[in-house]
Chains A and B, each alone.
Chain A
Amino acid sequence: LAKTTQPISMDSYEGQEVNITCSHNNIATNDYITWYQQFPSQGPRFIIQGYKTKVTNEVASLFIPADRKSSTLSLPRVSLSDTAVYYCLVALTGGFKTIFGAGTRLFVKA
């Protein structure tokens, strides 16, 4: 099962683009990369998922290089409400176990 490594915390200012990188050196061929967002005392919420290259939705972009050993979640123009913990995880297709690490605590300042 692939282990992920993320920075423990990051600070940013409103209006800036934030990039959170996740390392997953042992990612397997069939693993997908998924990001979740969690606010205090709430359940995590799905943000984005990808397998390779670039995926974009209405809230974020996910960049995955060719070797897939890392991925970068990009949040454009963050606001105070983006202050949360962001989890990167890999999920094996056909598998049923995953690991939520400690995540990255993003603090957006005015």
Chain B
Amino acid sequence: DGGITQSPKYLFRKEGQNVTLSCEQNLNHDAMYWYRQDPGQGLRLIYYSQIVNDFQKGDIAEGYSVSREKKESFPLTVTSAQKNPTAFYLCASSIGRELTYEQYFGPGTRLTVT
């Protein structure tokens, strides 16, 4: 079964702790993305990667970091520098390196920081 997996589905952390969200895809897609969604809002792009070992900042990259050591994996670390980390985090991938290509989304991770 091809697709994108994100784990865990729910994550709770104390303020001041870093936390890493997992994203894996077995679609053989080149491009991967991380978005953040706040209640009642649209998605905002955090980071994207067009190819292994390369990634670019999106619109709201401050307080986040990523790595792309393998084509299948694009983990996102929410650092203690992120002022309002509580949100719904979505990972996506696409076969092509442009946003005209269809993006396939994972089920999301809901992060709560208290």
The number of inter-chain residue pairs (CB within 8 angstroms) is 63
The docked-state distance in angstroms from the alpha carbon of A95 to that of B110 is 29
Q: Known interface pairs A41-B110, A43-B105, A96-B56. Does A102 touch B40 (Cβ–Cβ under 8 Å)? A: yes
From A44, A87, A95, A102, give the contact of B99 (CB < 8 A). Answer: A95
Q: How large is the interface on B (under 10, 10 to 19, 20 to 34, 35 or more residues)?
A: 20 to 34
Q: Is the CB of A97 within 8 A of B100?
A: no
Give the 9 A-B residue pairs with the shortest CB-CB distance, closest first: A43-B105, A91-B99, A100-B42, A100-B43, A46-B102, A98-B99, A32-B100, A91-B100, A43-B90
Q: Which residues of B contact A (CB under 8 A)?
A: 4, 35, 40-45, 48, 50, 56, 58-59, 88, 90-92, 97-100, 102-108, 110
Q: Which residues of A contact B (CB under 8 A)?
A: 32, 34, 36, 41-46, 49, 87, 91-103
